[in-house]
Chains A and B, each alone.
Chain A
Amino acid sequence: MMIGRLLRIVWLLFLLLLIVSCRAPSPDDELSGRITLWHSWPEEDALVLEEALAQFEEIHPGVSIVPVTLPEDQILDEYHKSGNDGLGPALLIGDDGWIGELVNAGLIRPLIPDDNTTSLFDSRNRALTQNQGQIFGVPLSLAPNALYYNKSVVTEPPETLDELLQDAEAGNQVAFVPRFEEAYWGIQAFGEGLFDDQGNFTLAESGFTEWLSWLNEAQLAPGVILNVDDASLLDLFTSGQVAYYVAGPEKQALIATGIDEENPFEYGVVPLPKGPQGPAGPLLPAETILLYAFTSSEQSRIADSLAAFLDNQQQSIRFMRELNRVPANPTVRVDQRIYPIVNGFARQASTAVVIPNEIASDLLVSTGDRAYASVLSGVLSPEEAVCEFGLEVAAFQDYRAADISLPQGCEIPAESLTIE
């Protein structure tokens, strides 16, 4: 009897909620409805984001946006879980590296650029968000690694790797993490990158072998500190013990708060030093607004509009001015005199490298890390490490010999070729 009564109550409750929620879209073009936005911004940054959201709500009085902050290390798992239930947020601010995984899971939908968003997608932003020929999401801010330097000891930062080594030998020590993501930047300085313009994996012309050789020699040079413990390198920089430190814009807050009060100094940011073949090309992570696949049509309209709004010139400048974020919007001019730090990162972003979203980036990074570690610990020569790296990437990406170009003398074994 009790269960029957309970069922009746459940029925009524759900029907009531369904009736309430199944409102017909407004006849005119005015946006109306409510959406949720997930992010993992720190508290101070989130306040600025909420100001922008409030402005959007002011422009569209019928819209209600609920921002939800989730821990950085949990947000993707939570998105997967809720997304599969149909309960995901209409918008997710996350890493562009998640696009491939979320497209495969069917949890994000493509964005069809319209009048509001076309200007946001230059070739770099297209590369950042493209997957299987479609654009998924809107890049919000860029986070390439660049060269932090201590202005109290460095007056003219080095422009080339040779100058960097000379300066290090002269006493201005340099510190960076010798792993794939953090130390990718030298590959392009010694040759081509790992991917050509069409996104094909190519090692034959890349500067990977030469870069690993340079690193192997540099680690023995005086004044060069290579350590995978990034926190201790940060401490060395903020305490004034090293003059140069390679990191992304997300480290600004830690550096600002970590600088020794007894030995204060100002810091600057410039692009990483060039190599013999050209400018340094660090990886280009981008904070991206991703669109949930299973929203209602009205929610999709609001989500698209809000994504474009958050990435427009005014909001990009707001985030740059108040949060030192590097705008991904190509129409925003970053003045060196007003925003010198952001300008350093923005200049670096212009030569940074985008890894295609179709690549399994986790596997690529872990394989790359092994190559760096093998060379720097003397287990493999740079040539051997690069060949092994190429073969492993070919294996997990299921590349055939025709799809990739490996260095001379390094070939995919015949038995491992995919048979179609």
Chain B
Amino acid sequence: MDNDRTDQAESVVEFISNQIDILLEILSRPVVQRQILAVLLILLITWLLPEGVRRWRQKRISTGEEPKSKALSRKQRWLAALYYLLTPLLALGLLNIAIRLFAQQGYPNGLLADLNNLIWIWLIYRILLTVLYARFGEAVRPYRIRIVTPIFLFLLVLQIFAVLPGSSTFPDAIIGFGSISFTFGNLVTALIVLYIFIVAAWIAKQVMIQTLPARLNAEPGVIESVATLTRYALLSLGILLSLSFLGLNLTSLAIVAGGLSVGIGIGLQDIVANFVSGLVLLFEQSLRPGDVIELDGRISEVEKISLRATTVRTLTNEELIVPNNNFTTNQVKNFTKSERLVQVIVPLGVSYKSDPDLVRQLAIETSLLHPQVLADPPPILLFHGYGDSSLDFNLLVSTNQPELTLKIRSDLYYMLWEKLAENKIEIPFPQRDLNLGNGWEKLATDFQTS
């Protein structure tokens, strides 16, 4: 095994050394040097000229000859587009002149012709971006980064590879890692397939998030969950297909996966349990982003459900990352599972001298003044009983903001205190009537004797 690795390392070093030798051999040829110098000259001109135009415009703006405004006029937009295309257009023109000059002199111009293809790709890329930005504005940006630019970069790399001597044999070149070997062509195909699936997964998620809420009237959390699941499914499919393009037998992969699962079961038990719990949460929908839950006695709002853990935010604004396993194995109070409506109970005691009907009226009126207390269902005051020193009531109010129950209860205490005070209704402190029966007379006699 060590010998194999040494041989592989030696062959890699030899390959790199050979490529450097070939490069140096090629660069020492006058025909190549002529072409490279022409290319450098063209690059210099195509860089300097647009730079000159840019500086000239900046000077005009600074001297006031040209208005400076954020909103571009139609003419200015056209000029900006033209400026964006100026560099490749200029390079293309100069390159074609150079190609003709070389042909006239009988010099080989294949490298210049190859560069011509590259510049065409660059020009088409810029034209496409110009059109897309003109039509869709900044919304194009994520699509440009994820789709347009990588595709054009790939085409550029492909063109550059095609120029290298002996490049037609590259697809059949064998790449080996230990007992696994595949061709360079298969590796490229696998990467392309993987990229296509990554992009498709991203697009699918975007489309679902943007279109499904309007069509299905579904909650954002559900859409997010479904979109995430779809993305993971597409990514998994992409990875499997890529592996199959690398010549890996998926059946044997399944066997390997079976073997690995034993190891995973032992070594990564918690992670796998959390992962499976994440899937259960996504499928079962027992927990969704936006839900208000009580976890370990703390009320929190669910922010994001990932496959391994769920992020919740407590009322004290702490972010907790809770492993998903906690939600499937422990009891979790979900205030918003089927609806967001919760009831807040505010205990209230008033003096025995008070009129219970007046108390009810005042309590209900006061509670309705609170902005988070709903009028429907209406607040009610339940007569709880005759306490030791007070008539005991429970005020029940409804709210659709379960995360604010503590605050609502506190607010209502304040408001009721003021309201009852205004109406001379006493909130009594505990009073005790001490009754000693016959013992009182004996106690008085004992006191006088002493």
Contacts and interface: CB of A to CB of B under 8 A. Distances in A.
B152 to A, nearest CB: 15
Given A74-B169, A85-B108, A7 B22 contact: no
B40 A78 contact: no
Contacts of A59: none
Nearest to B111: A85
B105 to A, nearest CB: 13
Nearest to B19: A66
B108 A84 contact: yes
Interface stretch (B28-36, B202-210, B375-383): B28-36
Contacts of A20: 24, 27
Interface string A62-76: 001010101100100
A36 B20 CA distance: 11
Given A14-B36, A82-B166, A87-B163, A7 B110 contact: no
A294 interface: yes
A299 B114 contact: no
Chain B interface size, as a band, is 20 to 34
A33 interface: yes
Contacts of A21: 24, 27-28
B229 interface: no
Interface string A259-293: 00000000000000000000000000000000000
A322 to B, nearest CB: 23
Nearest to B25: A34
B72 interface: no
A132 to B, nearest CB: 17
A81 to B, nearest CB: 8
B165 A88 contact: yes
Given A11-B40, A84-B108, A86-B108, A66 B29 contact: no
A160 B152 CA distance: 67
Interface string B9-42: 0000000001001111111111111011000100
Nearest to B172: A71
A304 to B, nearest CB: 16
Interface in B33-77: 33, 35-36, 40, 43, 47, 51
Given A82-B166, A85-B163, A86-B108, A23 B43 contact: no
Contacts of A83: 108, 110
Given A18-B36, A66-B21, A84-B110, A295 B165 contact: no
Given A18-B27, A22-B28, A34-B21, A70 B169 contact: yes
B169 A71 contact: yes
B169 A299 contact: no
Contact of A70 (B22, B28, B35, B166): B166
B168 interface: yes
Most A C-beta atoms less than 10 A away, residue of B43, B166, B168: B166
Nearest to B29: A296
Interface in B158-191: 163-169, 172
Contacts of B165: 36, 68, 78, 82, 87-89
Nearest to B165: A82
Given A71-B169, A87-B165, A7 B47 contact: yes
Contacts of A89: 165
B185 to A, nearest CB: 14
A51 B254 CA distance: 47
B108 A38 contact: no
A87 B31 CA distance: 9
Contact of B27 (A11, A17, A295): A17
A87 B114 CA distance: 12
B92 to A, nearest CB: 16
A35 interface: yes
A18 B33 contact: yes
B48 to A, nearest CB: 10
Given A33-B25, A66-B22, A86 B32 contact: yes
Residue with the greatest number of chain B CB neighbours at <10 A, chosen from A83, A294, A298? A294
A70 B165 CA distance: 10
Nearest to B30: A296
Most buried by A among B24, B51, B167: B24
A371 interface: no
A404 B349 CA distance: 130
Contacts of A66: 18, 21-22, 25
Given A10-B43, A33-B28, A38 B33 contact: no
The 6 A-B residue pairs with the shortest CB-CB distance, nearest first, are A85-B110, A84-B110, A21-B27, A86-B31, A21-B28, A82-B165
9 contacts: A18-B27, A22-B33, A36-B25, A82-B166, A85-B108, A86-B31, A86-B110, A296-B30, A298-B28
Interface of A: 3-4, 7, 10-11, 14, 17-18, 20-23, 33-36, 38, 64, 66, 68, 70-71, 74, 77-78, 81-90, 294-296, 298-299
Given A21-B24, A33-B25, 10 more contacts: A22-B33, A66-B25, A70-B166, A78-B165, A83-B110, A84-B113, A85-B108, A85-B111, A87-B164, A294-B31
